[in-house]
Chains A and B, each alone.
Chain A
Amino acid sequence: MTPASPANVPATRPTDPRVTTLAARQAALVAALVADAPPPPGFAPEPLAAARAALLRKRAGEVARYWPLLATGLHPRWLEVFQHWAAGRPPAGALREGWDLARYLHGAGELPPLGADELACWQAGYHYPEPGRPPRPRRLPSWGRVGGAIAIQVAGRVRLLRPARRHP
């Protein structure tokens, strides 16, 4: 119980980090778990770290369901690669996250051929012009090309015409 405050003293001081609204505290907790913000006051750090790692593993599993070839192509380092890339990056949905990761790896010259095949197929089927907005299905016939892989899409059906160059 909080003792009754004198009338001229505010019951809570907004500058006191221990006294804040549930909304603000929930926001601080989520930011600490997914966006590299510092742990909110009072939380034990080890369980929070375990929760952070568990969230990354769950996200990796969800992305691998949308991007099975990318995950397979990175085997046995898939979890490590995903966690390294995703740590501190708030979740954006599995389709987008796999797409962003594939683009990042392509830029770094580390996209495996299977991942290039898969990215080309998604590009043929979906329009994803800018990060921050969800990919949308393409209505017109289209194609995708990544690292030598070429995929085409007609009436919603995607076909990989040529796989990416396999590394020697």
Chain B
Amino acid sequence: MTGPVGVGIGWRPEIAGFVAGLPGLRFVEVIAESVPTAGPLPAGLTALRERGVAVVPHGVRLSLGGAEPVDPARVAHLAAVADLTGAALVSEHIAFVRAGGLEAGHLLPLPRSREAVTAVCANVARAQAELPVPIALEPIAALFDWPDDELDEAAFLTEILDRTGAHLLLDVANVYANSRNRGTDPLDLLDRLPLERVAYAHVAGGAEQDGYYHDTHTNPVSRPVLDLVGELCARHRPPALLLERDGNFPPAATLHAELDALAAVGGLPGVT
């Protein structure tokens, strides 16, 4: 797999102009569900592809962790977006987003049980059978845990990765959020995850509200999250780091500074 390399940013229509103006950029991520497969790619993405910028389609609504089989139409859409963008890798979450006919509207955690491992691995296998490229799986930030967890986070994730052969998309902000909300040490998790399987890492900002740390993607990346990226890179530097910003977009100079900070802490070439 020739996966993503260097510092990238989540491509969103609102910041397409900003992203187009990053001279050293080598990869972006795009929300797969936002790309229509009937027509041509959004013009901004086509221009990036022509510059040789790699695109990673990032699914958010497959619901790979659902107890029901993954919807073949959703897998087909992700596969089509991978073809359309010439992607070498796609990514999705270890989570479920709907059940019993209701949409949750966001990524929800699985119980860390053997039954859930089996369910998610079956769905990943169904997706892998139809996808033209490898998949990387992202552990989510969760505000709550199930009451009957049998495995800890590291054992749960490692089991899923071992059984599916998938890559790991490690979201450092999620690791930080979970450790704060659970009162655990994020370094323990980093020490126990198979970091050599990380295809790329996510970094994003969050905010404290009502006693919980929320992974908002609409706040600046904080120093503790950057420090955790440093801890990750000191253990095993991933080939690529991606800044996720989904809203409340700051001035270009602020985003430049965040990308520069990522490059510096990750020891990667700057893109601004």
The yes or no answer to B264 lying at the interface (CB within 8 A) is no
CB–CB B119/A22 < 8 A: yes
CB–CB B102/A27 < 8 A: yes
CB–CB B210/A43 < 8 A: no
CB–CB A26/B66 < 8 A: yes
Q: When each residue 79-119 of chain B gets 1 if its CB lies under 8 Å from chain A and 0 otherwise, what string results?
A: 00000000000000000101111111110100101011001
Q: How large is the interface on B (under 10, 10 to 19, 20 to 34, 35 or more residues)?
A: 20 to 34
In the bound complex, CA of A59 to CA of B103 (Å): 12
Chain B min CB distance to A43 (Å): 6
The size of the chain A interface, using a CB distance under 8 A, is 33
Of all chain A residues, the one with the shortest Cβ separation from B182 is A47
In the bound complex, CA of A50 to CA of B103 (Å): 18
Contacts of B147 in A (CB 8 A): 41-44
CB–CB A30/B108 < 8 A: yes
Chain A min CB distance to B116 (Å): 6
Contacts of B68 in A (CB 8 A): 23
CB–CB A30/B144 < 8 A: no
- Which residues 188-239 of B have a CB within 8 angstroms of A? 210-212, 214, 218
CB–CB B99/A58 < 8 A: no
The yes or no answer to B67 lying at the interface (CB within 8 A) is yes
The yes or no answer to A55 lying at the interface (CB within 8 A) is yes
The yes or no answer to B257 lying at the interface (CB within 8 A) is no
CB–CB A26/B96 < 8 A: yes
The yes or no answer to B17 lying at the interface (CB within 8 A) is no
The yes or no answer to A87 lying at the interface (CB within 8 A) is no
In the bound complex, CA of A29 to CA of B144 (Å): 11
Q: Given A22-B115, A27-B100, A31-B100, answer yes or no on A43-B106 (Cβ-Cβ < 8 Å).
A: no
In the bound complex, CA of A25 to CA of B68 (Å): 12
Contacts of A26 in B (CB 8 A): 66-67, 96, 99-100, 108
Contacts of B148 in A (CB 8 A): 42
CB–CB A27/B99 < 8 A: yes
Contacts of A11 in B (CB 8 A): none
Give residues in B with beta carbon < 8 Å to A.
Answer: 66-68, 96, 98-106, 108, 111, 113, 115-116, 119, 143-148, 181, 210-212, 214, 218, 247
Give residues in A with beta carbon < 8 Å to B.
Answer: 21-31, 33-35, 41-44, 47-48, 50-51, 53-55, 58-59, 61-62, 65, 90-92
* Known A22-B119, A33-B104; 6 more pairs at CB < 8 Å: A22-B67, A23-B67, A28-B100, A30-B98, A43-B144, A43-B147
